[in-house]
Amino acid sequence: MCAQYCISFADVEKAHLNIQDSVHLTPVLTSSILNQIAGRNLFFKCELFQKTGSFKSRENVAQRIIQETEGILVHPNQEPAVIAGQGTIALEVLNQVPLVDALVVPVGGGGMVAGIAITIKTLKPSVKVYAAEPSNADDCYQSKLKGELTPNLHPPETIADGVKSSIG
Q: What is the mean pLDDT of residues 121-135?
A: 95
Question: Where along the chain do its domains lie?
Answer: 2-136
| The pLDDT of residue 142 is above 60 | yes
CA of 38: how far to CAs of 106, 129, 143, in Å?
Answer: 19, 18, 30
* pLDDT (tens digit per residue) in 47-100: 878 876 555 556 777 888 899 999 888 887 889 999 999 999 999 999 999 999
Give the pTM. Answer: 0.84
* pLDDT (tens digit per residue) in 11-22: 999 999 999 998
| The pLDDT of residue 39 is above 90 | yes
Q: Which fold, 2-136?
A: Rossmann fold (3.40.50)
Q: What are φ and ψ of residue 29, in 5° steps?
A: -110, 160
* pLDDT (tens digit per residue) in 104-125: 999 888 999 999 999 999 999 9
DSSP notation for 66-85: HHHHT-----TTT-HHHHHH
Q: How many CB atoms lie within 10 A of CB 110?
A: 22
Q: With pLDDT > 90 as the criterion, what percentage of the chain qualifies? A: 54
Q: What is the mean pLDDT of residues 23-51?
A: 92
Neighbour-count burial for 50-67, b at 16+ CB within 10 Å, e otherwise: eeeeebbeeeeeeeeeee
